[in-house]
Amino acid sequence: MDLSFVKWLGHASFLLTLNGKNVYIDPFNVRDTKEHADVILITHPHFDHLSAVDIKLIAGQKTRIFVPKDSVDKVPVGDIVGVEPNKHYSFNGVDFDTVPAYNIVENRIHYHPKENGWVGYVLDINGTKVYHAGDTDLIKEMGKIVTGLALLPMGGTYVMDVDEVISASKSIKAEKIAPMHYRALLGKEGSKEAEEKFLKNVKNGIILKEAGEPKYSFQ
């Protein structure tokens, strides 16, 4: 599978290129990224996913920004569209579906409640589907996902830990599965251990190369 169109900017932040268009997902700590955003997808309003500072660095008034409906007023610039789960959206050749993203584990339900309507995204990029799960636990909706690349949060505390990601990988029908959202939470050694365990137990698992220097803490 050719994943040259995928650039991991760190944490849960990605830049996808589609027919000359730049599609960002949850841009955070992107000050070294020069590419202007044509489209931005925001999964939920936490600071490391909806960063007004980063959005202003890459977006202009014509940038189409999709964000959950409860967070529209938090986006500082752009042509803003409120989204909700289980819907299809299209803009200028960029097509995607929203999927629910929420916690079900008792001690973290309050971090990402289902009723907030926060989302993950499934995009069709040059014929390859990409699922960005947002911040979520292993939820029943994952069993319906069919994708080329699945990007799953693996940090624990707020989202799935490595064991839960291994279980989620068995639920999702994906050609390749890559973890995200863990290095800032687990640190250098913890991240290495989690990656090794993930790769050992997920036969279609991969570790994406992080653009620039790995970010092992929030900056």
Record the tokens describing residue 37, joined without a space.
């955003």
pLDDT at 217: 63
Closest CA to 121 of 111, 103, 134, 140: 134
Mean pLDDT of 121-145: 95
CA 113/CA 109 separation, integer angstroms: 6
What's the confidence (pLDDT) of residue 34?
A: 74
- Taking the alpha carbons of 185, 189, 190, 191 in that order, is the dihedral positive or negative? positive
Mean pLDDT value across residues 117-126: 93
8 Å CB contact between 138 and 150: no
Q: Which of 25-39, 147-161, 185-199 has the lowest mean pLDDT?
A: 25-39
Name the β-bridge partners of 179: 152
In sign, the C-alpha dihedral spanning 32, 43, 50, 55 is positive
Question: 6-201 belongs to which homologous superfamily?
Answer: Ribonuclease Z/Hydroxyacylglutathione hydrolase-like (3.60.15.10)
Q: Where are the alpha helices (DSSP H) in the chain?
A: 52-58, 162-171, 183-201
**Whole-prediction pTM:** 0.96
